[in-house]
Structures are given as C-alpha cells and as structure tokens.
Structure 1
Amino acid sequence: MVRRRTISLIAVSATILAITACGDDGGTPPYSGSPPGASGTPTPTATAREPLIRIVEPALDATVTTPVALSGTANTFEAHLVVDAQNEAGDTLCIRHVSATSGSGTEGTWSTVLGIVPESDADAPIVLRAYERSPEDDSIANLVERPVTLSATRPVIYLTSPVCGDTVAPGGVVSVQGRATVFEAALTVDLRDAGGTVVFSRDLLTEEGGVESNFGELVTLPAHLPGGFYDLVAFSISAADGSIENEFPVQILVQ
C-alpha cells in the first residue's frame, strides 16, 4: 500500500509539471505584464488644449494700482484681442483693443495699460479679462480672467473724460477732464496713434498746483484724422530731468 501511494504522488507531480510547461509548445504564455493603470505602466491621458490667450501679469489675486499694467501671450485671428476690467457688479471699468506681436497660428506677446477711473476710497475686487471677438458674429471667444484687487491709491493724474471706449468723429470736439496733483498746476495731454506718434498735444492747467484739483478743456480733433484707435494720454513733466511721468492713457475710437 505504501508503494502505490508513493507512485501516485509522483504521477500527480509529473502531470502538474507538464501543464506548467505547456506555454513552450505554441500555446498562450501566462500573462506577465502589469494590469492597465498599475504602477509603472503609463496610462494614456487626453491632452488639454493650450489656451490661446494668457494673462501673465499681474499675478492672480495681486493688488494693483491704476493705471493697471497687463501683459500676456496670445494666438488669435490677425493677432487682435480685447482687454478689459470689470467690477463686482459686472460693469466695465475700462476696455482696450490690443495687438499681439503675432497671431493666426503663431503665439505672440502683448502688453497694455488700463486707465481705470478711481471709484471709491477703499480697495475693491475687480476682474481683468482678455479675449478675442469672433470674426463670424463678434461674440466673445477664448476668454481668460484674472481676479485682482484694485488699490484705493489714487494716481497723480487721471482722466474722467473721455472714458475708455468712447467714440469721436474726425474734427469732433472732445471734453478733456480729470484731476491731478502736479507741480505748478501744469500737465500735458497728447493724442497718439496706434504706433505712438503724437497727433496733437495740448498744455493744460489744474485749478491749483501741488494739491489734487480739477482740470478741463474742450479739444477739437483734427478734421483729417484717419479712423482707428488712439490714446488720449495725460501726463506731467519731471522737474528734475524733463522726462515724461505719471502717464494716464485712455483709448478712444475715431470714426
């Protein structure tokens, strides 16, 4: 009896070995890889589309002062984009049409300044936005937003009229108004084309020098002025070296 049980165990062991070796005769070998998604085995993931417009500066949740400087990148139709600022109620505080260094398939860079008129004596949350207008229906496309805090610090000079986005006809009259704290009450207002060339310049005086006070004058645009976007820029001249300082720009459309 003992001999028969020993022989049976040997036979069973031989059968197990034969089954284990069957992968060598053309059969399907045992699976030796890691299961999908296991550690060490990369799992394909969907690649997110790169944003066509980015705001690089200012940083998220930064505290900014007016005029607000912005910069970023864009790959938009004909390199055009729009930059604006909105308050908590969704009102547009300032808007500018901007051209990047390239577009229509090639990413470029852009920078601009928003001349936001101070609304209160307290810091306030605002949202900076950059987007393009659809060439098909003028709808907003590729919108990006950057929440920041607008400081209550008032600029040395700011324009209250015209405001960002105003439209004026060639030869039309513009009411240039604002407030400034400038030496000897003196400041200058330029109208500059998209290339920065000064179209005309006007020297103005505030009501009082050295303290914040009003200034204003009616200015007639040149009748031959070509249509397009222009910057009305108020600034002062440094008493130390004669350089331009305290610029406050407002973009207007002449058409």
Structure 2
Amino acid sequence: MLAPERQARILKELQLHEAVRVADIAALLNVSEMTIRRDIETLDQNGLARKIHGGAMRLARLSSLEPGFLLNVDKALEAKLAIAAEALTLVEPGMTLALTGGTTTYQLAVALAAELDRLPNLTVVTNSLKAAELLYHQQGSSDLKVIVTGGERTPSEALVGPVARLALRNLNTDICFMGVHGLDVDRGLTSPNGLEAETNASFIEATSQLVLLADSSKFQVRSLAAISPLSAVDTIITDDGISAATADLFALRVPNFRQAAPHATAFHPSTRKSS
C-alpha cells in the first residue's frame, strides 16, 4: 500500500474517531509503526491532522472536508484492484491516457505508478486530483507527463464544469479509463452530478477508445444525469460479482466485456469477450 492510500485511510479513521493510535493503524494496515508515524507527520505538516503522542487527532475542520473519496476508497477494494490490474494490460508505452475521477480509476493510477519503468513515455490527462497527486509524487525519474484539466472540485475529488470541458476540447487521448456511478443497459452511463456527467461526456469525445471500469455494484443502476449511451463504450472491465445473466446482457452490447477475479494471480484475471 502506497503512502497516499495509507494517509487516506488514516483520515478516514479520523472521520470516525476523534483520535487514532499509531499501533492500531499499523495493525489495521499491516505495516510498521514507524511507517504510520511518518504518514502522520506528513498529514500534520499538510494541515490535515494533528500529531499527538502515540497517534493523531482529528482537526476541528476535518468534518468540513468533502468525504466522498475517502469514504469510498476502501469499498469493494479487492474488486477495484483486480479491475485496475486488468485495465493495466491495455496500456502500452508511449500512450496518452485519460483517467476520470473515482476510486476505481485511482487504483489504476496506483498500478500505473508501480509500472512506470516498464511503460515509458506515458502522458496522463486527468480530472482526478487524487490520481494526479499520486502520479506526480511517484513519477521519480520517469518521463511521465501528467496533465490536469482544472475545474470545480466535487466530493469525489474530481474537477468538473466548463473549465474542465474547455481543457478537454483540444486534447486527444488513445484510451479513456472512466469510472461511473451507474451503468444501465437502456440508459447507459450515468452520474448523480450533472457537471460531472457533462465533463465525462467531453472525455469520451476526446478519446479513441473508451474503457469503463465498474465494479459489480454499478450495474443496472440509474443516476440522475446521463453521460452517454452504452454504444459509446468499447470495453467494460468489472469483477466477478455480477450474475451470469447480467454479464451476458452487457456482453451483447459492448465489443469487449471482461471480468477480473479479485483473488486471481495479478494480471491474469478471467476474461469474457462478447461474440
């Protein structure tokens, strides 16, 4: 687990508890207490938590932070990791990638950060603050380029609205990896946030290939705002938690439908392709 993930987990625990102990967090994350102390030091320096003897304390203003990303980053984590590992197999050196906001696309950013030596000359266009921050701090001596769209921040730590859409208007990407709130056979891709839906539609217009990253809880869900019809999707990557009937239904509608098994060996998930 990388430092940004550990620190997000510490902040999540501080949303639930006024204070946390180093020993408890170290045991929870299966890392050394020294590692957690360094994470708490970083949070303290960035004004996100207060370092105290033996642990960290919630800041009075922590409750005002937008909780969307932190509250969702650990949900269905094994499924998201498997989806990210499968998505990584589509990335080749020299590509220009788009990553939209969301916790599943964030896990792809984590996977990309670990493979930068194998994937040179990548350019990543993203409206995800968390993904951009992670890739920037993990790029080291690599030649990775990270382009952030700008825009209005959402609870899911994405940048949306007219500024983001304007930035995307003049860009072209090889693959867009997109996360969504809802995915329905009839209504297509949807979001509860109208500005996010419009921004994601701009991501689709700017890419040659749309790859949807959606865990099994997103299927047959309709949110308020439409992003695009299902016909815009080239590939769906999900986990093995959906029913066979649902998998068959969506496999008939997209050129490539993949299911990644959370407990499978890394980069070797099961795959179902539509005929």
TM range (shorter): under 0.3
User: Between Structure 1 and Structure 2, which shows a larger proportion of strand residues?
Assistant: 1
Given the two structures, how large is their TM-score scaled by the length of structure 1?
0.22
User: Between Structure 1 and Structure 2, which shows a larger proportion of helix residues?
Assistant: 2
